[in-house]
Chains A and B, each alone.
Chain A
Amino acid sequence: MRYITMFILSLIFWLLLTFDLTVPNIIVGTVSSIICSLFFGRFFITNVYKLLQPRRYFWFVIYLFVFIWECIKANLDVAYRVLHPAMPIRPGIVKVKTTLKSDLAKMLLANSITMTPGTISVDIIDDNLYIHWIYIRSEDPEIYTGMITGAFEKYIKRIIE
């Protein structure tokens, strides 16, 4: 099942890349997708049936918009800190507990965190994310957990879990 998913995904990728619907191109694409799925299929997503539920795609689109908005905010934030003559930074590494369970969701969360205001994820150990923060606004774990993960966690939960 995983192999078939990988096959379909790589075929889509191939068609996007070449943008050519002639017969030889599709044959080459099919053959190379089969090879690709043989090599990499073993490592791919485990729960395939989730790909067939349309509402997940709907949440994914909403998530994209939220994410882009956060991204722009992040950049303006960094711009402010860089251009300010006094450079108001207060960096440190904080520990954040996440409620997400699956690996893919954790990965998506970590990557999202990397792109949001002033944070980069350093490591994941079990359920704990370690995050480097350029300006620590509060010392209280409850508050900063909400600040960092709150925007994304609920969407990711709806998309993946």
Chain B
Amino acid sequence: MISLIFITIGILFNLLGCIGIIRLPDTYNRLQAATKCVTLGCCSILLGVVFHFGFSDAGTKVLVAIPILFFASTVGAHALIRGTYHFGIKLGNKSVKDDYKDALK
């Protein structure tokens, strides 16, 4: 039962991330929404799986999977956003500040 609650929460977060990736205007903001929501959502689903299987071989396997998922998604987001900036995509027209431009010179 408790696993179902976790999974439901996770899917709600995933849904939010999905709406974000469709609605937001430029690449940077899409990455913002998507990474956070989807990572937390999937971690939550995996936690639900841990509670479902209990302390067994499957449960510990999922416990191992959570840090891998966490690091993979955050580092992936970081590398992607840096790559996007170097690729030459401009910040959206709503943006107000850009300190990184100076640092690259």
Contact = CB atoms under 8 A, between A and B. Distances in A.
Given A19-B57, A87-B23, A132 B28 contact: yes
The B interface is mostly helix, strand or loop, or mixed, namely helix
Interface stretch (A40-48, A111-119, A153-161): A111-119
Contacts, number: 120
B24 A79 contact: no
Interface string B19-55: 1100111101101110111011000000000000000
A18 interface: yes
Interface stretch (A29-37, A50-58, A67-75): A67-75
Nearest to B18: A82
Contact of B32 (A95, A110, A134): A134
B40 to A, nearest CB: 5
Interface of A: 13, 16-20, 71-72, 74-75, 78-79, 81-83, 87, 89-95, 110-111, 114-115, 118-123, 125, 128, 130, 132, 134, 136, 139
Given A111-B74, A115-B36, A120-B77, 7 more contacts: A87-B25, A89-B29, A111-B78, A115-B40, A130-B99, A130-B103, A134-B32
7 contacts: A19-B57, A75-B36, A78-B20, A91-B92, A111-B78, A120-B78, A122-B100
